[in-house]
Structure 1
């Protein structure tokens, strides 16, 4: 390392003294920039040394992450992208990575160990087998049905959790707490439904025992963490670090709000800024609607205008003003109060975070998986605005922009690469909607009853037709120039 090479913060504790207390399934960037960092902070204070993380995965692709992290002693490079100056640290809270196997045998064995008191997950918003039509757990999903038929050789995370809880119960051992760290409303409730629903297919009595004895705390998590690519690897190298194929970059901001429901114990996370409260739902609603909804609002116009990065979209006056108008008139008025939080100040912080050029988050990432994200981040605000008789012009325009994006071409004619698990279906519908916009609102599994609302149908159709006639920029101009309708 030369004199000009910036320093890297290393763990200040003896990692050989850290013992596992948590199995975490899903070792993506977010987990390593969020939960692992909180635990690393505790360990740097000489605390929580018996709460080390054992990493785990249930997909074949997770084996590549396991190989890479084991090669660097499970240390993760985390680079905070503060506009005032980047900082890097090596996070040492993970003490091992469980072998990835098709039957999840090694994972089940690890979760069955008595010292494991928490099993946590980041398996993405779409990984909970929730029916888009009913909003509840879909026990008919093929992977869940398969786990019900072969409960001793499960392929899903939930099937593996059920198998481990069965083993612990048989051994007379206390169950672990199951903690979702995914960005979902009521993530604890959804996780409970997935675990008990999977168990019920093979062992209804076990399902009842899980429902009665296992804790599933709800939580809200927040930190913008871009995908890793060449830029991020080069950034890690600039700190003089050894080769790291999976460095993590993130914004300086982070937040974690949790229900304090951990019967088998937990780390003292309140000492490093985690908020424990019974009002998780209020924080969650605020974040999902204002931040994640805001991401959707800037994503699709940016994608259509061929803008690469989120901070560039925020620098485009039309998109920035579009975000302001929709947030202030159609989203924030319907967000319930949050303890000790000024919603206007929270939104100002969101704008600042979106505008951080160092993060270099991409519009393509924000546009991804609209079929899972729109029902969670946009439609609840739209539903509330319709019920209150308020303006829906901006939210209807956001829906039209998403439809136009899914057509597969940008305003300049460039092709939009597939960007949704249901891309083929969405593209087909978006192309049909060019002639008949109401075809899109016929996606009842997404829009449900509001797809039949006359106000939404009129506004959506008008906006989509205009997007095709005059393009995204002109439609945004007209919306911003209009008063409330």
Structure 2
């Protein structure tokens, strides 16, 4: 027998499922969050649930928000279970389920009036974001805000009727300034280097297009703390829903399965206070830069390294890729010879122990993380997770052989077929462009590096261009297995 998740059924859930110890009726909203997806519900919402279970900070509940039509389906699922989420932590020897209750509402995505009204509410003191790496309107070739993006141009031309997350936030800030209310903090929780600075650049860049004085006010009065966030959290499928029913007796339309590990390193800069998250494991620091560089290069760069060879060899799950001798060996050699040399010391952290922990986490057989998820959105992820490492190695005279191979594997993947001939479904916002460029690059590898908005100066470096062309040619001639084997043999 299973129990459908809802507030009225919490007491009926099996004893193996942890439930909130606080009264949810006593939780009030203090945070408006854009991008209610699996990562947010396995990370920020879990930390807040932990804090509420300690008995305090009950005025920091979460209200969800969004701008995409597709977000309405997730909202409907959560609404039918009173905004509750079942979070299941799993690794090889551990499985635990809990219900989190930190969310108190979820505004209808795209309901501009309701979202702006909530943004203007003085009770809302933090705006948090998990809108993906590609959601910040950044030009990959410069790493700066792109004022020419069509959505930005539209919002700048009609700031009273915003369509983007950033247009909505600015409208809320204007309302607060007009009402002489203090501004909220904008807290980015996406995997972007210097994510607080990036968020400020985008917000102020949009404001600058229609009101430079207001843009200056935002820069001077709104806090944008940088953060490093980490927890491997795959997408939810029927597989996870069925596992939850069978193993824990809970019916949840949108559960979250994740690894036990989680980390949040955050700069302590907030305009209107913050929840006492240090009580539940959040590490507050003066400068998050060393932590985020470590994570982005070793973990996110490592994900990219295993994604494309595994995808080309029709490997479905991440842990299966880690069981493949060539993929695991490629990751280890790339980590040790080309990625780790670019990661400076991190306070109170053993980098080699951290690298080994990453390998262990990738190998977790219970998560069900997919290679396709790791391959997703390379046009936004490569300029953040891989290309800066190449630039540093070129600058320092280090090896770029393995990194050039990673780029060649990405290019070959974007051809749109695996080595077995299976079609790869579109897996990038710029998929059509990537496929066309990859097909040109089969005969002319320089065509791939000619994507200036992605590769910039790195693509023009002769030593990198030569290595990339050599690896891409070898992939087409000999296949992924042979090329990986030759790389590992030196």
The alpha-carbon deviation at position 134 of structure 1 amounts to 2.1
Report whether the alignment pairs 1:35 with 2:44: yes
Could you say which residue in structure 2 is the equivalent of 1:340?
348
Distance in 1 between residues matched to 2:211 and 2:245, nearest whole Å: 51
Contact between 2:97 and 2:248, CA under 8 Å: does it hold in 1?
A: no
Contact between 1:100 and 1:106, CA under 8 Å: does it hold in 2?
A: no
Could you say which residue in structure 2 is the equivalent of 1:350?
358
Could you say which residue in structure 2 is the equivalent of 1:325?
333
Could you say which residue in structure 2 is the equivalent of 1:393?
401
Q: Secondary structure at the match of 2:144?
A: coil
Distance in 2 between residues matched to 1:239 and 1:17, nearest whole Å: 31
Could you say which residue in structure 1 is the equivalent of 2:7?
none
Distance in 1 between residues matched to 2:94 and 2:250, nearest whole Å: 21
The alpha-carbon deviation at position 300 of structure 1 amounts to 0.5
The alpha-carbon deviation at position 42 of structure 1 amounts to 0.3
The ranges of structure 1 where at least 4 consecutive aligned residues each deviate by more than 4 angstroms after the TM superposition are 1-6, 239-242
Bigger mean CA deviation after superposition, 65-74 or 267-276: 65-74
Residues 20-68 of structure 1 deviation map (CA, whole Å, 9 limit, x = unaligned):
1100111000000000000000000002111001111111222222221
Distance in 2 between residues matched to 1:88 and 1:243, nearest whole Å: 12
1:77 to 83, 86, 93: 86
Could you say which residue in structure 2 is the equivalent of 1:415?
423
1:52 to 57, 61, 73: 61
The alpha-carbon deviation at position 381 of structure 1 amounts to 1.1
1:294 to 282, 287, 302: 302
Distance in 1 between residues matched to 2:283 and 2:46, nearest whole Å: 15
TM-score, scaled to structure 1: 0.97
Q: Secondary structure at the match of 1:276?
A: strand
Could you say which residue in structure 1 is the equivalent of 2:75?
66
Bigger mean CA deviation after superposition, 177-186 or 2-11: 2-11
Q: Secondary structure at the match of 2:145?
A: coil
Task: Map 1:426-465; keep pairs closer than 5 Å.
Answer: 426-465=434-473
Contact between 1:8 and 1:239, CA under 8 Å: does it hold in 2?
A: no
Distance in 1 between residues matched to 2:428 and 2:116, nearest whole Å: 31
Report whether the alignment pairs 1:151 with 2:140: no
Could you say which residue in structure 2 is the equivalent of 1:194?
202
Contact between 2:14 and 2:249, CA under 8 Å: does it hold in 1?
A: no
Could you say which residue in structure 1 is the equivalent of 2:314?
306
Task: Map 1:339-378; keep pairs closer than 5 Å.
Answer: 339-378=347-386
TM-score, scaled to structure 2: 0.96
The alpha-carbon deviation at position 437 of structure 1 amounts to 1.1
Contact between 1:21 and 1:116, CA under 8 Å: does it hold in 2?
A: yes
Structure 2, unmatched stretches of 5+, are 3-11
The alpha-carbon deviation at position 239 of structure 1 amounts to 4.6
The alpha-carbon deviation at position 133 of structure 1 amounts to 2.5
Could you say which residue in structure 2 is the equivalent of 1:141?
149
Cα distance change, pair 474–5 in 1 and its aligned pair in 2 (3 A): farther
Distance in 1 between residues matched to 2:248 and 2:458, nearest whole Å: 54
Structure 1, unmatched stretches of 5+, are none
The alpha-carbon deviation at position 203 of structure 1 amounts to 2.1
The alpha-carbon deviation at position 279 of structure 1 amounts to 2.4
Distance in 2 between residues matched to 1:138 and 1:454, nearest whole Å: 28
Distance in 2 between residues matched to 1:128 and 1:183, nearest whole Å: 11
1:284 to 285, 292, 317: 292
Q: Secondary structure at the match of 1:81?
A: strand
Contact between 2:13 and 2:250, CA under 8 Å: does it hold in 1?
A: no
Contact between 1:22 and 1:119, CA under 8 Å: does it hold in 2?
A: yes
Could you say which residue in structure 1 is the equivalent of 2:23?
14
Distance in 1 between residues matched to 2:21 and 2:438, nearest whole Å: 54
Contact between 1:119 and 1:176, CA under 8 Å: does it hold in 2?
A: yes
